[in-house]
Every structure is written in C-alpha cells, then in structure tokens.
Chain A
Amino acid sequence: MADFGQYLANIKNSAVSIFEGMAVTFSWMFRRPTTIQYPDRSEKPVRDMIPERSRGVLEVDVKTCIGDLQCQRVCPIGVILIEMDKAPDGKGRVIKRFDIDVSKCMYCGFCTEVCPTNAMRHTHEFEGCSRDIRNLVLHFVDEPVPPYKLQKDVTPPTPPLGEILRTRVLRKWDASYRAWESKYVPPPPAPGGGSAEAQKGKEKKAEAQKAEEKKAEGTVEAAAEQPSRPAAPEPLPVPEGIRAGDILEAVEKAKSIPPAKAPESPAPVVAVPPPEEKAAAPAPPEPEVPPKDHVVEAIHEEQPWTKQLVKTPEPEVVHGNVDLTAEPLRVPETTDRSAAVDMEPKAEKPSRREVQEAVPEKPGFVPPPDEPDRPMLDRVLAAMPGVADCEGFCGYPSCRGYANALSSGGEFEHDLCDRGGKGSADRIALLLRKMKKKETVKTE
C-alpha cells in the first residue's frame, strides 16, 4: 500500500512541478528580455563597457616609441614589423614603418609588457570584422618619425586609450580595402598617365578586379622608375592593388588641404608635466589629442560621423533631480495644439497624427522647452524625473544611461521610464521627434 501511495505521490509531484515550471516559463513571456541588443541598442559603445584591463586590438603611439624593437623581438608570432632608417638629414634614425598584423595577434600581451614607454598598448577595441584580411594589417607610420628620446624622471605622454586606433586606423576596417587605402594612406609620388583609365576603374569593382591588379603592378613599377622623385629615403610601402586613379584623386585632395604638419618631434620634453602631477590627473591635460594632420581631416571629410570619435571635452552635467518647474523650463502660456506645433520648424506642416501624438489632451502636460543649443542628452534627461529610488525598470543602470541611449538613437522605446510615467514618456517622445526631424533636415 505504501508503494501505491508512493506511486500516486509520484504522479502528483510530477504534475505539480510541471505546472509550476510552466508557470515560470509562461511568466517570462510577459517580462522584458534581458538581452542587450549589441550593437544597436547598447547603452554606450561596448568598448566602454568591457573590463578595464581587457586586451583588445593593439595600438602604438609612434610619437613615444623609442624604436628599440623589443616588441618586435618578443612577439612569439612575428606580428609586429618595424623598419628603422637613417634620418633624411643624416642625424639619427627614424621609424619608417610600424605595422601590426592584427589578424595574427593572439593578444598575449608580451609586447605591451616589454615596451619601456607604454607606446604599445592594448586598447578596448575588439570588433575586428573586416572585408579584407589585409585591412587588419595596421600601419601606424605615415611619414618617417624620429624615435622618442627616453629621459630620466620623465614619463612619456600617453594619449587616451584607443584614440589613435579609432581615429586613424580602425574605421577603415569596414570599408573595402582599396576604398580606404588609396584615400587615407598618404599618396606616393604620382606616376604619370593612367588618368584615362582612372575613371573607368570606378565603374565596377568585381569586374575590374584582375585588371586592377595588373594595373597596380604597372603602377608600382612606374613609380619605381620615376627618376624625379623627391629625396625621401624610400617610397612608402605601396599596398598591392592600388589604383592609379585613386592615387591621383588622393593627390588632388592632399593638395587642396593645407600641408600636413611635420610630426612633432618629442624634443620639447620639458613641456610634459612631472610624474607626480601626471599621476594626480591621469587624463591628458590638453584635449588636443586628435592629431591634426591631413589624414584625419580627410577621414573626417569623407565620413563626417568619425568626428564624434574624437573626444571633445564635455561640460560635466549635473545629473539628478531636475525640477521641471525651475527656471529654464518655462511653462508655455497655452498648451493648445497650435502653440506646441509652433515649436516645430515652420517649413513643414505637421500631420494631424503627429500633432495628436505630440501634445496629449491632458491639460497638465508640460512640453519640453525649445532649447536647440542644449545637448539632446541633457534635454532628454531633463524630461525624466531623475528620482533616486528608481527601481531601474528601464533596464539601464542610471537615468543618464537611458537618456544617452535615447538621444544617441540606440534605444527606440521612449516609454520605459516607469517613474516618469506618461508625462515623461510624452516629453521624451516629443524631443526625440524633434531630434529626428533635425537630422533629416540636415541630411537633406
């Protein structure tokens, strides 16, 4: 009988546990998934979210590299290729080439350990997806650079981590190899002729593949034969498959841009603050980090969005309770439709649907003030209640995180702020719509 009791108990237990288990999984149908949709909707760039000491793609600051080749020697794989040469004026040496083949690197970190000046570092960049494996060979020297002179009691300056990689090298990965190579690598002296084919070369990539290679060979040869080259020690390494037309184009561009500043020699070391001060303020004293050479500017010109990669000092925004009734947020006299609509650019008449969405019927609704000069992040933040005991239902660690994601277009759901409720959601929606409109106006 006891056995039969056990038998029935088994049935009951399995039924109950299956029922409870199903209730748990069912409840997840009505909860917010925890997935962060990388990279579209992550709160900030993932490189800022990964651990501080993680080893990402290598970067080297050739301005502080002393050229002792230790990294090249210690690398077990032979990832690093450094070429030193005599300086053109005959005194000392220059670093002529500093290539890191990221496709081979195993991120062991040996090279960063041996580097005496911290010129070689692991950044937090990890997205190494590239259309062409040759893109993964990172060239850090455009023009020969004199090596850094190590001095006692002087810490070499360190630019912010990843700055060089991001502004100079990395974003090219996404482009096809030739598209960027011909544009951003400083052009070697132009060979004569070939301009007629240059236009043709633009037409079709796939079809022109073979012809391009042939042409490129010819180009390199032609360049080698040119006797009237300037007295540069050696032509910069011309990658395979470069197109004559692109070179010409790049030359034209380079001419139109004011000539590049010669790479600053690290001679005025005196300017570098003493180590104690450095330790106190790890951030670089002057934000003029992005090298103002023509290469960067060319990148900016080609792809304007890269400008945002260059950090500009942002005034510290005080985050917290933003009193909606305080001074900068004035309540408009009328909250009827026409008044709110006037905030929009006059040129286009908002559709009926938009108007209805923009201004809720609720009399208590306070539309956000029109302050086009204020950063969108702040304006969105101001539209949130910013209370301290928020339970974080939006899924972001702070209001600022959510506001940032909203204003950068990473998050599309404007009504996640639970504490702010409908009013907050409506204000944010209005702001976001304005932001979108502005963008479209700009692009047009």
Chain B
Amino acid sequence: MSELFTFIQGRWDPAVTYPQIVWPALVVAYGVFAVTFASLFAGITSWYERRVAGRMQCRIGPNRVGPQGVLQWLADGFKAFLKEDLVPKEADGILYRIAPYPVFVGVFCTWVILPYAPAVVGADLNVGVVFLMAITALVVAGIIMGGWASNSKWALLGGVRSAAQMVSYEIPVGFALLTAVIPAGTLSLQGIIAAQGGAPWNWMVFHSPATFIAFFVYFTAALAEGNRTPFDLPEAESELVAGYNTEYSGMRFIWFFFAEWANLYVIGAVVAAVFLGGWRLPGVGIEQQAASLWLQFAGACLFVLKALVLVNVIIWLRWTLPRLRVDQLMIMCWKYLVPAGMVLVVVAVFWVFVERGMPGFARWVAFLLCATGFFLVGLMFWRAWYNIKYGGDRLYLKFMV
C-alpha cells in the first residue's frame, strides 16, 4: 500500500494530494478491490471448473443459466442464500457458527501480500513468505473447528484428517519456498519477484535444478494444503459423506467452498510470484516498470494471466487424478516430499557457491532447464494430439457447445 501511496505522491504534487484523505481512501479501495476480486474469482471459477470438468469427461457441463451457463454460479449462490441455516441440535452452537470464518479469513488474508504490480500490493511484508504460511494455517483451525463442533463422526474424521494433512504438508511447502528464498535472499514476495527476470530463463523455476524440482514439490504440497483433489481427503465424498462440512448448509456451506476456490488463485499467484517471475515484463527494468503506470498495468495483467494458467492446471489435475488413500498421502509427504525438500535446500545453498564461482555454467544450466520446461509443455501438447489422432477421434476446437 505504501508503495502505491508513494507512487501517487511521486506523480502528483504532494501538496495537492492530501495524505490524510488519500491514504485511508487507498486502503479502503484496495480492500474492496481485493475482496471483490477474490469473490468474483471464486464464483466464476466454480462455474468454469464444472465446464472444464465436463469437457474432460466427454460431457458438456452447466450451460443453461445465461449464455453458456456463465450465470450458473449466481444461481447457485442465490439458491444457497435461500436455504435454511441449520445447526444440529447436539452441535456446539458458537463454534459451529464461527467455523467458516477462520477458513475464509485465512484464505482472504493472503491478499494482503499477494502482489499485482510493483506498486500494487497490500503490504510488502519483509516476512511475506512466512506470513503466507502462517495465515493459511488459520484454515486448519477453521476446519477442525467445523469438524469438531458439528458433533458428527464424518465431520470429525474430516477435520482430523485435514489437520494431519495440513500440518504434514506445511513442511514440504516450507522447504520448497526456502529453496526459492535462498537465491533471492529475501522473504518478501516483491523482493523475490524483483530477484527474477522477465524472460523465462530468468525465472526462479529455471534458476537451478533445486528450484526446478522445488517448483513441483511446492505445487504438490500446496494442493495438499489447499485440500484440492487428489488430496481432498478431508472432504472425501466416497467415505466421509462430505467431510468436515457434512452438517453445514446454506451460506455457511458456501463459505467453505468460497474459500476453497479463492485458494486456487492464491496457489496460482504464489507459484507465479515465487517461481514464474511474477509481474516482471521481459526486457523491462524494475525501475522503468515502477515508474510507468502502463507498464505496471501490463505487469499486473501478465501476473494474473500466469496465475490463471496455473489455476487451469490445478483444475486439470483435479479431473485427472483419483483421490489418494490416507496412508498414501502420508507416505507421499514424509517419504518423498520432505526428504526431497531437505535435499533441495542443501542443493540450493550449494548452488549459491556455484553461481558465485562459475556464473557461466549457472547460466547454461538455467537455459537448459528452461528448454526442458518448454519441452515438457510441448510434449504435453504432442501427447494430447497423439491421443486424439490415435484414439479414433478428430480435433474439435469449439468450446461453446
């Protein structure tokens, strides 16, 4: 916020912009913007995800409310508003009622540090990454609260599972972020973005082999932390009815899902910021970008675009992979991701010396990794095309059906 304020003061005469008015107005405006952005994103994603899911399962998906069903989420929300707000008789009334809010707040508070552009960020905390992990841990509290207060075995099991899962996956998340923090030398998200470059080979993900693998480790662990399929054990429909929100109805139920979908953007944005260059534009210096309004806007667009691509990948993963078993989930965390995270941190530290000693070699590795990354993306498209061609089908590029 202060960056934006200084930006405004730098562009217009400080004598004319009354700090007493502009500053609070900015804070309120940004708050409203963040909440609106998050809510709209969550709502529209709830429709978009169903459409994508439909296509991936050879179906069509909701296409009735509004053109191509784009208003489906409004209809769903409206319906939820009209539902009775039930509290089970044996439930712990107060805890039960407030449980959705920690979940909601835990996810929405991350907007404080999520950057859009050099000057557009809620607060550029110098402990940004730590704040991120701390505030998302609030979600666990809400989920356990809901599961416990419901006084239902399904909800309780869901809540306990979620606690175990989230606490476990905090560790690989921490390691993976640390791997990116070491070369950047700062915990602030803006600082990490500034340490990267606009061109792909300057992104953090291609910085060293350690960060390349850390990207996947973080992505996996973040999915698990956000309760997304294939790690959605807390709400496993097949065995736990609906998990921690079994007893919830109406708007309280929607809060949980709102938070979950908003969390998609959080995951996408954090990955985009930490690993994929954030708002950096290729070929534009930081000072240059910070000075120009239009370059800031372009950077924000690029950033949101990157985040949305990642959101698509998350949705895509959800409709591809089956849910893990509880033991598999724990094995995956403790036997694979945590050791991998430890090794990655060591390699990242080692790479700092490599970079100092052999900058040319480090540069070549970055190019090589970048090529690998794009090769993988290309391979994916080729495999998809192959599946269409040899699956006895044809390319059909209409998305409005």
Give residues in A with beta carbon < 8 Å to B: 7, 10-11, 18-35, 37, 393, 413, 418
Contact flag A25-B316 (CB < 8 Å), given A31-B58, A33-B59? yes
Q: For chain B, residues 342 to 401, give those with C-beta under 8 angstroms from any C-beta of chain A.
A: 376, 379-380, 383-388, 391, 393-398, 401
What 8 pairs between A and B have smallest CB-CB spacing? A23-B383, A27-B387, A27-B384, A32-B396, A26-B384, A25-B56, A25-B320, A34-B58
Chain A residues contacting B385 (CB-CB under 8 Å) are: 27
A30 contact from B321, B379, B396, B401, Cβ within 8 A: B396
Are the CB atoms of B387 and A35 closer together than 8 Å?
Answer: no
- Interface residue? B253 (CB, 8 A): no
CA distance A19 to B317 in the complex (A): 10
Contact flag A19-B396 (CB < 8 Å), given A24-B387, A27-B388? no
CA distance A193 to B109 in the complex (A): 73
Chain A residues contacting B335 (CB-CB under 8 Å) are: 7
Contact flag A35-B60 (CB < 8 Å), given A22-B316, A22-B380, A30-B395? yes
Residue count of chain B within 8 Å CB distance of chain A: 32
14 further contact pairs, Cβ within 8 A, besides A22-B320, A23-B386, A33-B55: A11-B336, A21-B320, A23-B384, A24-B320, A28-B55, A29-B55, A30-B395, A31-B58, A31-B388, A31-B391, A32-B394, A32-B396, A33-B54, A33-B60
Most buried by B among A20, A23, A34, A37: A23
A29 contact from B52, B60, B376, B379, Cβ within 8 A: B52
Interface string of B300-332 (1 = CB under 8 A from A): 000000000000000011011100000000000
CA distance A413 to B316 in the complex (A): 27
CA distance A33 to B55 in the complex (A): 6
* Total A-B Cβ pairs within 8 A: 77
Chain B nearest CB: distance from A1 CB in Å? Answer: 17
CA distance A20 to B385 in the complex (A): 12
Are the CB atoms of A35 and B58 closer together than 8 Å?
Answer: yes
Are the CB atoms of B317 and A418 closer together than 8 Å?
Answer: no
- Interface residue? B57 (CB, 8 A): yes
Cross-chain pairs A/B with CB under 8 angstroms, 23 sampled: A10-B336, A18-B320, A21-B321, A22-B317, A22-B380, A23-B387, A25-B56, A25-B316, A25-B320, A26-B316, A27-B383, A27-B384, A27-B388, A27-B391, A28-B55, A29-B55, A29-B56, A30-B397, A31-B393, A31-B396, A33-B55, A33-B59, A35-B58
CA distance A117 to B335 in the complex (A): 75
CA distance A22 to B60 in the complex (A): 19
Chain A residue nearest in CB terms to B385: A27
Give residues in B with beta carbon < 8 Å to A: 52, 54-60, 316-317, 319-321, 335-336, 376, 379-380, 383-388, 391, 393-398, 401
Chain B residue nearest in CB terms to A37: B60
Contact flag A35-B395 (CB < 8 Å), given A21-B321, A26-B380? no
Chain A residues contacting B60 (CB-CB under 8 Å) are: 33, 35, 37
Chain B residues contacting A33 (CB-CB under 8 Å) are: 54-55, 58-60, 401
Chain B nearest CB: distance from A30 CB in Å? Answer: 5
Chain A residue nearest in CB terms to B401: A33
Chain A residue nearest in CB terms to B394: A393
Chain A residues contacting B376 (CB-CB under 8 Å) are: 19
CA distance A23 to B387 in the complex (A): 8
Chain B residues contacting A23 (CB-CB under 8 Å) are: 380, 383-384, 386-387
Chain B residue nearest in CB terms to A11: B336
Chain B residues contacting A37 (CB-CB under 8 Å) are: 60
CA distance A18 to B376 in the complex (A): 13
Chain A residue nearest in CB terms to B397: A30
CA distance A7 to B340 in the complex (A): 12
CA distance A35 to B59 in the complex (A): 5
Chain A residues contacting B380 (CB-CB under 8 Å) are: 19, 22-23, 26
Chain A residues contacting B394 (CB-CB under 8 Å) are: 31-32, 393, 418
CA distance A20 to B394 in the complex (A): 19
Chain A nearest CB: distance from B395 CB in Å? Answer: 5
Most buried by B among A33, A34, A35, A393: A33
CA distance A327 to B172 in the complex (A): 76
CA distance A10 to B395 in the complex (A): 34
Chain B residue nearest in CB terms to A17: B321
Chain B residue nearest in CB terms to A18: B321
Chain B residues contacting A20 (CB-CB under 8 Å) are: 383
CA distance A21 to B52 in the complex (A): 16
Contact flag A28-B58 (CB < 8 Å), given A21-B321, A22-B316? yes
Chain A residues contacting B386 (CB-CB under 8 Å) are: 23
CA distance A184 to B274 in the complex (A): 72
Chain B residue nearest in CB terms to A30: B395
CA distance A28 to B396 in the complex (A): 9
Chain B nearest CB: distance from A27 CB in Å? Answer: 4
Contact flag A28-B56 (CB < 8 Å), given A23-B380, A23-B384? yes
Chain A residues contacting B384 (CB-CB under 8 Å) are: 23, 26-27, 29-30
Chain A nearest CB: distance from B217 CB in Å? Answer: 11
CA distance A279 to B341 in the complex (A): 79
Chain A nearest CB: distance from B343 CB in Å? Answer: 12
Chain B residue nearest in CB terms to A395: B396
Most buried by B among A21, A24, A26, A37: A26
Chain A nearest CB: distance from B245 CB in Å? Answer: 27
CA distance A20 to B391 in the complex (A): 14
Contact flag A28-B57 (CB < 8 Å), given A11-B336, A418-B394? yes
